[in-house]
Structure 1
Amino acid sequence: MKRTTQSMAATLAAAVALVGPAWAEGQLNLYNWGNYTSPELIDKFEKEFDVEVNIDGYDSNEIMLAKVREGNTGYDIVVPSDSTAAIMVEQDLLAEVKPNEMENFSNMNPTWVDVYWDPGRNYTVPWQWGTTSFTVDSEVYDGDIDTLALMFDAPDELKGRINMLSDMPEVINAALRYRGYDRCNSNTEELRDITELLIKAKADWRTMDYATIEKLTSGDVDLSQTWNGAAMRARDQRPTLVYAYPKEGFTGWMDNAAVLKDAPNMENAKLFMNFIMLPENAALISNFARYANGITGSEEFMDEDMKTAHEIVMPDTAPAPDFVKPCEQEVTDMYNRIWTKLKQ
């Protein structure tokens, strides 16, 4: 990005001092989910604070967490989902930057303050929140879509035309819901049943891939397990897609911006945390990624279609989203064994 001259910088710094926000310069290194960061948001932050933002991407919480555990990543901010954020707080991987004491914290929707992964918000701020279900082409399949049976007992029209997320918790939790079993389940008989269900269902799946938008818009598949915002983005290109709210249940989640404990640009990271709690800035994220954000007042700045979209506004008949806390290590180990068999 362009740097200001010394005299111009001095003038701008004086102006900023009059209106309140901290003056910054340097860099900010963001490690976020791929295709999830609004270029308009980043451009605005860079110009406002004279900070150059560098972005790398990942496609799963597990990849991000493994990298952070190695240490010395050079990243300042990561965006873990709720259960991963809880693990990162417990393992002392995040800086306690006290978003709850920042200027813009008053904009946070009270619903998202006392959350299980960060009670009172000492470490994290909302990035986006949503659901994980699936979307299906209504021209290919015109029956009832609000059931997980479409993924685990596929009708003929969809056999060989299904993409599942390559995501162990999402796939296994969906199977547990379909069978009516509890999440974080250690019942060996029930897990044996889940293993058999998944292996049988896999015969009707075409792929297991995180690139759900691309899979759907290319016509490679007609149903994909996916996130609601991704489903909306896919529908923009393939209007016959419909997002499902299965009667057996579906995942609720929130992705959160968090500062790593060894962040090399700590002050700039704090500035960014405060910055994305402004309603107009939270709306920039939502308008790009197509999810709700947890910041009160952001709706005023959001695209009109976001306010009524079926993928974003859940019908009254839908069950409440199921937010799944981290499982005990014993259960995670059992899930890993199931996942290994499924991926063979």
Structure 2
Amino acid sequence: MTKASRVVRATRAKLLGSARAAAFTLSALIATTALGQAAELNIYNWGEYINPAVLKKFEEETEIKVNLSTYSSNEEMLAKIQGGATGYDVVFPSVHMHDIMSKLDLLEKTDINAYEGFKNIDPAFLRAKSDPKGEYCLPYAFGTVGIVYNRKVLGKDVVGWKDLIATVKEKGLKFTLLDDMREVLAVGLILNGHKVNSTDPAELQQAADTIIAMKPDVAAFTYDTRPMVQSGDVAAGHFFVGAMVDVFANQKDLGYVIPEEGATMYQEDMCVLKTAPNKDNAMKFMQFYTRPDIAALNVSQQTNGTANVPARQLTPDQIKNSKEINPTPETMQRLQIFEDLGSGVRQLDRVWTKVKTAQ
């Protein structure tokens, strides 16, 4: 072998060795990247609507890192997803938004109803018309929208909207309403004996007139109800049952009531997006949440209701025994849940503008 041949072979061997090393490094990098991706879960939920202890426990048990992002409304979440956001795995739409997202083909079929832990779920909470068997999403939490009030300011307990309105008028006090079209118009609809999903123009106008008549006694349309009621700046506020956190902390002065005239209830479902980059981890989280101990851990901090029946017995006594958080069957009959109104929502938009602009 000539010297030149030996040099060529040595050079070739060196290049081949470098190529193999580079290939190994690239393979290792790809494997590490894939592992990193497989070890993450991106949750997109309502603000403060999940106990951080639940996420921590999931991370400890699975070694999957959870990244939590939050939104303030169904519409904000949907706009983000439709706008091309592709990094989210799990979302928590309200029932009517669950149906809307199903129509838009945004949700992954998970067959969570075939998982053994699904037996813990009360079938009454399979409310989405698009998912009556729970093949896509898991019922997450529910609650009522009622009145949180300061009895020290009011000088009494109130039992409903008519009682509250009469009391604040008599005493020259103020209350707040949510800055939410459907929730506020629902109050007007209920007070006039109509269904909260009505799109009838006459019924909606009657509801709007009822709310407009309240406006002299309304301090604000706001979500910042809790601190205003706690401080006594207003006598009461239209708010979610999550305000029971404040009631439990100051039962002498604060109360929450599901109005005797009726009220809305909300329910959010846990769904996996079709675009989820970590579907396996999303399924693990969904299965994890069917455990009664996990649902109870979440409820203990959230003071919402749960569709997980055995979990209810694992919650703290003040939650377990609360008729506000766990309404009686009779009270449940007085509750209504929002449905997807399709194009009918335009009728609500029209009267809502009248409500907000009326002097």
Q: Which amino acid aligns with 1:74?
A: G
Distance in 2 (CA, whole Å) between partners of 1:188 and 1:300 is 45
Moved more, 301-310 or 92-101: 301-310
Alpha-carbon deviation of 1:172?
0.7
Contact 2:113–2:135 (8 Å) recurs in 1? yes
Q: Where do residues 21-100 of structure 1 align in structure 2 (5 Å cutoff)?
A: 25-100=38-113
Other-structure match for 2:283 = 270
- Mapped to 1, the partners of 2:288 and 2:85 lie a distance apart of 25
* Distance in 1 between residues matched to 2:232 and 2:286, nearest whole Å: 38
Partner secondary structure for residue 140 of structure 1: helix
Write out per-residue CA displacement over residues 32-51 of structure 1, whole angstroms, 9 at most, x where no aligned residue. Answer: 11111111100000111111
Instruction: Give the deviation of 1:85 after TM superposition.
Output: 1.1
Structure 1 window deviating more from structure 2 (162-171 vs 34-43): it is 162-171
The CA deviation string for residues 72-105 of structure 1, in whole angstroms up to 9 with x for no partner, is 2411111111111121112211111111122321
Residue of structure 1 in register with 2:301 after alignment: 288
1:118 aligns with 2:131: yes
Distance in 2 separating the partners of 1:128 and 1:105:
14
Give 1:278 deviation, angstroms.
0.4
Instruction: Please identify the structure whose Cα radius of gyration is greater.
Output: 2
- The unaligned stretches of length 5 or more in structure 1 are 1-23
1:116-139 residue CA offsets vs partner (Å, 9 max, x unmatched): 352000111121111111121222
Specify the alignment match of 1:163 in structure 2: 176
Q: Which amino acid letter does the alignment assign opposite residue 163 of structure 1?
A: T
8 Å CA contact 2:175, 2:237 repeated in 1: yes
Cα distance in 1 for partners of 2:278, 2:166 equals 50
Structure holding more helix per residue: 2
Q: Distance in 1 between matches of 2:342 and 2:168?
A: 36
AA aligned opposite 1:275: F
**2:153–2:235 contact (8 Å) kept in structure 1:** yes
- Residue 71 and residue 323 in structure 1: after superposition, are their counterparts in 2 closer, same or farther (change >3 A)? farther
In structure 1, distance between residues paired with 2:99 and 2:292: 25
Give 1:249 deviation, angstroms: 0.9
For residue 238 of structure 1, what is the aligned residue in structure 2?
A: 250
- C-alpha contact 1:158 1:223 (8 A) present in aligned 2: no
* 1:260 matches 2:282: no
Question: Which stretch of structure 1 is more off in the superposition, 250-259 or 24-33?
Answer: 24-33
1:26/1:52 contact within 8 Å kept? yes
Q: Which of residues 344, 350, 353 in structure 2 aligns to 1:331? A: 344
Out of 213, 216, 225, the position equivalent to 2:229 is 216
Q: Contact 1:36/1:288 (CA < 8 Å) preserved in 2?
A: no
**What per-residue deviation string (whole Å, max 9, x for no partner) do you get for residues 218-239 of structure 1?**
43322111112x1211213332
Q: Give TM-score scaled by structure 1 length.
A: 0.85
Q: Post-superposition shift, 1:324?
A: 3.0
Equivalent residue letter for 2:296: A
Decide whether the 8 Å contact of 1:170 with 1:251 is kept in 2. yes
Q: CA deviation at 1:160?
A: 5.1
Partners of 1:95 and 1:260 within 8 A in 2: yes
Q: Provide the C-alpha distance between the structure 2 equivalents of 1:158 and 1:72, rounded to a whole number of angstroms.
A: 50
Residue number in structure 2 paired with 1:190: 203
Measure the CA separation in 2 of the matches of 1:323 and 1:195.
Answer: 19
Query: Cα distance, 1:335 vs. partner?
Result: 0.6
Contact 2:199 2:345 in 1 (8 A): no
Asked if the contact 1:152–1:197 (Cα under 8 Å) also holds between the matched residues in 2, the reply is: no
Question: How many percent identity over aligned positions?
Answer: 31
Q: Are the aligned partners of 1:25 and 1:50 in contact in 2 as well (CA < 8 Å)?
A: no
Aligned with 2:153: secondary structure? coil
CA apart distance, 1:52: 1.1
The match for 1:13 is none
What RMSD, in angstroms, separates the aligned Cα atoms of the two structures?
2.3
The answer to whether the 8 A contact 2:96-2:338 is kept is yes
Q: Write the distance in 1 (CA, Å) between the matches of 2:166 and 2:351.
A: 19
Q: Report the Cα distance in structure 2 between the residues aligned to 1:182 and 1:253, rounded to whole angstroms.
A: 15
TM-score by length of 2: 0.81
Greater Cα shift, 308-317 or 203-212 = 308-317
Deviates more, 1:148-157 or 1:214-223: 148-157
Q: Is 1:134 the equivalent of 2:169?
A: no
